[in-house]
Every structure is written in C-alpha cells, then in structure tokens.
Structure 1
Amino acid sequence: MNWDYFMTILAQITDLHLRPRGLTCYRVSDTNNLAERAIRALLALSPRPDAVVVTGDITDGADAREYALARHILGRLPMPVYVLPGNHDSSDTLRAAFSDYPGIRDAPTASGKLHYTADVGGLRLVALDSSVAGKPFGLLGAEQLAWLDRVLAEDDRPAVVAVHHPPMATGIQHMDSIALHDTDAFAAVLSRHAHVERLICGHVHRPIVAGFAGTVMTLAPSTAHQLVLDFDDKAPVDFNFEPPAYFLHCHLPGSGLVSHLAYVENFPGPYPFWADEGVRWPGE
C-alpha cells in the first residue's frame, strides 16, 4: 500500500532564538546557523512535510532584524509555514512581520492574542498565543480559551493544537515555574473535544511526551541548544549542545496521529541489515 498517498505530515520546529546577523545567542549558541541547518534537514525529507509549524521563540529578543532574518530563513521552505509566538517574541511584531503568512493573514483578530486555524491535509491545526509581554510564563486568557472551545466544537476533524508554553509540570523545576499558568481552564476546554489528537509545545528545549486533558502532549526540542536535563530543585538554568531535533507528526486515516522525533544532524549510515554468511533471520 502507498501510505504516502494517505499520510499527512506536519513538521514541528521550535525555539529558533534567532539573533541579528552576526550575533550569537548567550554568546556561544550560533542559533542562526543552526536554524539554517534545520531548514536544510526539512528540505531533504522525502516525502516533504505538507506544512511546518514553528511553536514560538522564533526570535530571541523580538527585534525587527531578527524577524527579517526569520522570514529569510523560513522563506526557503516551499510548503506552508505556520508561526506562533513564544515568550521571547512579541505578538504584535510577529503578526506584522508575517502578515502575509497562512493562518496569520486570516486570523480572527487584528491585535491582541494571535490565534488562528488552518487545514493541513487530513488535520486541522489550531494555533494559540500563550505569550505575555515582558514575562517568561504563559497565559492564554478567557477570551482565547472561549474562541478555542468554539472552533473545536464546530469541526470534528482530527485536530492538532499548538501553543508555546506547556500546560503541565515536566519535573524541571525552573522551567515548570514559567510554564502555562491557566492550565486548569485550558484542560477543561481540551477535555471536551476528543478529536484533539495532539497538543504540541516548545519552550523547554527538550523532547518530552506526556498525557494531558485526554490527549497526548509533545514538547519538541530546540533547533539550537538544549536545556540540561536536571531534576534537582536547585539546578542551575544551563544549556548544552545535545543534537538539535524536531517532530514529524504523521496522520494516517484509520490509525490516527503518530509523532516521530527526527534529528537535524546527519549520522553514519544508512547501512543495510545484512546477516553474516550462512545466517538466516528469524522468520525467513
């Protein structure tokens, strides 16, 4: 069976933390170059994703120069690209910079929280805005949550809800303190809609999977630097250069959504599964 014909592939990249050209992030992370590598990895996929969603922290300082660079880098992707803000972004500046991008150009509001829906093959993408100006934590707010409840009720197709801040604890205390704050209200909305197959987030710079409000929550790692995995409640806020990665959320009719972690870097291989001479594989 040709699964490519039936499959919808939604790629998720996050936390690019782009800087003005020539500058690094936190003095050592060349986030601009690392983002370029992530785009090349997406372009090398076969089949290519039907769309790409960027789940926030596109820039590091919400600088107009950073958004111009983001347009330049993301503009190399031939498929639709859906962007949403994180705590390092500015909703208004992002909206202006990407006003012609799908989703944003049809967003229901011209100011305030940036949220919208989009059709991606067999999936419905619902993008939310958890950013709070000048604050590291996230908040959706009653108005946006009411909108989310309405749009999920009007269409029962498989849905992917995208938001920057995760709504539940991960065990990394210094990040949990700046996660989404109106978690209970968000959970109440999602739990009413069984067709939400995935909640996709960023923010923590680590690959994390958990159950939340009757669905599956996946946190994607950054395309740049990763947070040090440390469950000590006094752990410092440090990062390292574990391999950058992204998620491919693949929807198969009759099977639902499957999420694959894929790495930006190239590794040795591929190699065929050759058995030693005279050895037969089990089942042959």
Structure 2
Amino acid sequence: MIIAHLSDPHLRPRGHLYKGLIDSNAMFLAAVKHLNNLVPAPDVLLITGDIADEGSVAEYEMAKEILSEIQMPALLIPGNHDDRNVFRSFFRANDHMAVSGPLHLVANQFGPVRIIGLDITVPGQHYGDVDEAAQTWLDKTLALEPDRPTLIMLHHPPFLSGIPYIDLYTCRNGDRLSQVVSGYPAVERIVCGHIHRAMQLRFGGTLLCTAPSTVTAIALRLAVDSEEASYVEPPALLLHHWKPDTGLITHWVAIGEFPGPMPFA
C-alpha cells in the first residue's frame, strides 16, 4: 500500500500570491501533477491541513479546482489557517468527514493500513490541542481494530521542534496523544504538517514524522532568540509505503524535474 502525503499548500484566491510573494497555487498544482505521474500510483493521498491560507470561500474554490486534478482518492484534515465550517461546506461530500464538530475521519478501504484523521485545531487560534474529547475518540476508534496497521494524521506536531517562533503555535496536551498511542503497538506512524519542514522522532512508542510544505519552508533556526524566517526551498512530499515484511517505510520525495535518469544505481 502506498500513501502519498502533502501538507500546507496555503492556497490563495485566483491571482493572489502567498504573503504577496509566492505563487502557492502553482506550486500545489505542480505537486499534484508530480503525484499523478508516480508509478505505481499511490492508493490514497493525505493532506495534513492548511489547505487555505486565510480560510476564505475563494481559497476553497481554488482548492476544489486543483484537487479535481488528483487521480487518486484524497483524505483532508484542517489546519490552523483553515476555517472548519467553510472547510466542511466545501468537502462535505467526503464520506469520511464528520458531519459536526471536529473533522475527525476514519478510512479503512484503501488497503491494509487504516488511516485515522484527528482534528486538533482550535477555531480562532493558531495552536492545536488534544483535548479530552479527542483523546477519548481516538482511544475508542483504535480499539475497534487494535491489531490493524494504522497511520494517524493530524496538523500540529505534538512536540516542541526547537524552532522558537513555530513552537509558539504547537499542539497542547500532546501527552494525551502519547498515552493513547502507546497502548496500540499497531500504530505504524503519526504524520503531521504545520511546521513546513520534514522532521522525525520517536513518540508514544511509534514513529512521528512531519511533511514539508508545498510552498515555503520555515527556516531551521534553533537559537532561542531567532527571528522568524522562511525560504523557498525545493518543495517535497512524503510517500509512506507499507509492506507486510517491513511495515511502513517513509520516503522524502522532491517535487519537480531533475537531471536523469542516469544509467547506474
């Protein structure tokens, strides 16, 4: 089973630039075209939030137009830049989407790996929160098939990255997530967005990784007094490849065209 993973496209209304500088719409469209050319094709695509930049109707109209180009099923959860109600109104035809409250999801039909989406966004705020209701919902959901290989997707990483200006808007009460996941060894991976960089660490007895953004990369500045900054680095996606003999393998894949292929390995 191959699971593609994009994050944080920060789409804008047609003709508008991200931060007035970067064509995030064109960069996301390039990512979609790259995905459509992958062989073998992924079984499903995950997008871990910040579909829109300001949560406007015009941005979600742009999102639906670009997403219509995707040649595989897609599972979406909101990020802190999304508006939960507008998000739901545009994507409510998705059978996996909750009809009210947080936009949690469960998808079982794309292959051996069960995919769980946990909406930990806090409307009107930029931080996330694993509240008691989310903790309880996740525990009950995992318990339905406790031995099935599972990937959990959320927007905010439930850890401090060490980048001071993004850690202001991290996920609160990440220990609740860790407590639940540690009781289910079949959880193969937790995947997140938000941080606009690829990172990985052990968390709750499993592996957690963050996906890069399809637009700008947040600068890796670890000094406590660092000023916030971003770069236009090569965009990338993650491919999570599940095989019975190895479990889930995660690959970082650059988006674009590069010299090659060369006749050697």
Q: Which TM-score band applies after superposition, normalised by the shorter structure? A: over 0.9
Match of 2:181 among 176, 190, 193: 190
- TM-score, structure 2 normalization: 0.97
> Which whole-Å CA distance do the structure 1 matches of 2:59 and 2:106 have between them?
25
Residue 152 (str. 1) matches residue 142 (str. 2): yes
The alpha carbon displacement at 1:78 in A equals 2.1
**Which residue matches 2:92?**
99
- The answer to whether the 8 Å contact 2:239/2:250 transfers is yes
> Which whole-Å CA distance do the structure 1 matches of 2:8 and 2:70 have between them?
17
The alpha carbon displacement at 1:213 in A equals 0.6
**Which residue matches 2:119?**
129
Per-residue deviation, residues 62-112 of structure 1 (Å, max 9, x unmatched) = 0011111111111111211000000000122111110112412xx3xx222
Residue 112 (str. 1) matches residue 101 (str. 2): yes
Per-residue deviation, residues 117-161 of structure 1 (Å, max 9, x unmatched) = 002211100001111112111013211210100110110210000
> Which whole-Å CA distance do the structure 2 matches of 1:93 and 1:254 have between them?
42
Runs of 5+ consecutive residues of structure 1 not aligned to the other structure: 1-7, 275-284
Match of 1:214 among 201, 205, 222: 205
Per-residue deviation, residues 170-199 of structure 1 (Å, max 9, x unmatched) = 111111221100111111111111111000
Give the match's secondary structure for 1:42. helix
**Which residue matches 1:225?**
216
Q: How do residues 169-188 of structure 1 correspond to structure 2 at under 5 angstroms?
A: 169-188=160-179
- The answer to whether the 8 Å contact 1:210/1:218 transfers is yes
Give the match's secondary structure for 2:212. coil
Q: What is the root-mean-square deviation of aligned Cα atoms in Å?
A: 1.1
The alpha carbon displacement at 1:235 in A equals 1.3
> Which whole-Å CA distance do the structure 2 matches of 1:133 and 1:152 have between them?
25
**Which residue matches 1:166?**
157
> Which whole-Å CA distance do the structure 2 matches of 1:87 and 1:196 have between them?
25
The alpha carbon displacement at 1:254 in A equals 2.2
Of all paired residues, the percent bearing the same amino acid is: 38
- TM-score, structure 1 normalization: 0.90
Give the match's secondary structure for 2:171. coil
Residue 56 (str. 1) matches residue 66 (str. 2): no
- The answer to whether the 8 Å contact 2:235/2:254 transfers is yes
Residue 140 (str. 1) matches residue 136 (str. 2): no
Residue 66 (str. 1) matches residue 59 (str. 2): yes
The alpha carbon displacement at 1:37 in A equals 0.3
- The answer to whether the 8 Å contact 1:206/1:227 transfers is yes
Which of the two has higher C-alpha Rg? 1
Q: Which moved more, 1:95-104 or 1:236-245?
A: 95-104
The alpha carbon displacement at 1:41 in A equals 0.4
